[in-house]
Homo-oligomer: A and B are copies of this chain.
Amino acid sequence: MRIGLDVGGTKAEAVAVDDDGDIRARVRLATGWGGEEVVRTVIAAVHAVATDASIDMSAVSSVGIGIPGQIDAATGRVSHAVNLGVEDLELAAEVAPVLGVKVRVENDVKAAALGAYALRGGVWGIHPHGGSMAYLNLGTGIAAGIVVGGELWRGTRGTAGEVGHMSVDPVGPLCRCGQRGCVEAFAGGGAVAQRWGRPGRFPVLDVFDAADAGDREAIELRAGIAQGVAAGVRILVLTTDVDVVVLGGGLTALGDRLMADVRVELAASAAASPFMRSLRLEERVELLPSGSPAAALGAALIGAAHNPESEEVLAHG
């Protein structure tokens, strides 16, 4: 059995995956703040999901952890995970000896990309090594993970998929990165919440509701979200020509309300341009089903994968 974790800013999700790739157990815990608490959360989540799957830790062959921030996949070190209060953490080295299994760590968006690919049947289904997919994560920030032939496309320096910081409007809203008109400045949950500026638990949902009610500022923000997401889809398909772009992340809780707007945007460029029309982007965008444990499942796959380029962090305990 392989265990995969998705460690987010508020909750950590763990899944236990059997040899057929089926999820046998799934648990959620609140994530603690800071390095020590993150380590504690990871260990607790692994034990909890093992218990839930009625297995002993000796039956766990690997643990994979998807977590925000900059990840050194070779060593399992996490840096700049600001939402977790982690500046630098040797996560694999801290938890592997306690758990007694090998542990691999990956950026949560990259893990979710692999998980989304698997959920679409990419790994165990009809295309054992075929097809390609981009996973566009619409969360506080925006970034993509690209999967080709079942493997993550990392790029030379691990920054492949950073389409959130492509500017698509020189006079667009200021991005937290410092540029204007980035995809993320239009459609990132953090940027939208900041510009909306009103209190609320899920500001993007409030924006959609207010836009439906005729609020002009909300209508503009809502239009920008669709423009940003559509631009992200275009960048990914024009550059890499992946089969499909799967949208995931917090914003996708809006479901069809988001997708309808994005499809209108994609239809507009298709109507303007025979070339864009030939790409059939509207048919190549999918929504990750709400509540899919993509990142945790992807992390389980990463934990189990044989990667000759990365030094495995082996258990000493």
Contacts and interface: CB of A to CB of B under 8 A. Distances in A.
Interface of A: 131-132, 144, 146, 153-163, 165-170, 175, 177-180, 227, 231, 234-243, 269, 272-276, 279
Nearest to A134: B239
A241 B276 contact: no
Counting every copy of the chain, the complex holds 2
Contacts of A144: 239
Contact of A132 (B155, B166, B275): B155
Nearest to A241: B155
Nearest to A172: B170
Given A235-B235, A269-B167, A156 B279 contact: no
A289 to B, nearest CB: 23
Contact of A240 (B240, B273, B276): B240
By Cβ-Cβ distance, the 9 closest A-B pairs, closest first, are A155-B241, A178-B273, A160-B241, A239-B239, A178-B272, A177-B273, A177-B275, A159-B241, A156-B243
A144 to B, nearest CB: 8
A238 B157 contact: no
Contacts of A158: 241
A166 B238 CA distance: 7
